[in-house]
């Protein structure tokens, strides 16, 4: 059960890593299909891409000691879930994003399931 959670977290951590690399290297223009963006938007986009990279590293740090790093995992899942709520708000007020945004939102809103899994691992451990 513990190994399964570690594998799931490791695989899921590749999502923010991918977005971090794409965002840091390509900026907002690459995410906008090559369309023109302002320097302000590009600056903010690259800044948030660094947060994706931080999320990746923190998840891998948690993987090293799942039983004792639960509080950090809970904070990370909270941040991910809040991001999902922000996407949901955008969906409801601005309109639907592309399919990858919908998939991201579903994963983010479903992320608390990882905490239930973590609790089972800790209780069993």
Tokens of 124: 């069993």
User: In this predicted structure, what is the pLDDT of residue 32?
Assistant: 85
Distance CA 99, CA 114 (A): 23
8 A C-beta contact, residue 81 and residue 109:
yes
Tokens of 2: 């513990």
* Regions of the chain short of the pLDDT cut 70: none
User: In this predicted structure, what is the pLDDT of residue 8?
Assistant: 97
User: In this predicted structure, what is the pLDDT of residue 31?
Assistant: 86
Tokens of 68: 């004792």
User: In this predicted structure, what is the pLDDT of residue 70?
Assistant: 96
Concatenated DSSP letters for 44-63? HHHHHHHHHHHHHHHHHHHH
User: In this predicted structure, what is the pLDDT of residue 33?
Assistant: 81
Entry pTM = 0.91
């Amino acid at each position: 059960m513990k190994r399964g959670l570690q594998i799931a977290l490791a695989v899921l951590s590749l999502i923010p890593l991918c977005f971090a690399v794409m965002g840091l290297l390509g900026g907002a223009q690459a995410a906008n299909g090559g369309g023109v963006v302002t320097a302000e938007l590009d600056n903010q986009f690259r800044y948030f891409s660094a947060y994706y990279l931080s999320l990746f590293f923190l998840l891998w740090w948690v993987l090293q000691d799942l039983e004792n790093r639960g509080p950090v995992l809970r904070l990370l899942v909270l941040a991910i879930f809040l991001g999902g709520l922000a996407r949901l708000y955008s969906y409801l007020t601005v309109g639907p994003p592309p399919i990858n945004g919908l998939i991201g939102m579903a994963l983010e809103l479903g992320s608390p399931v990882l905490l239930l899994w973590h609790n089972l691992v800790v209780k069993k451990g």
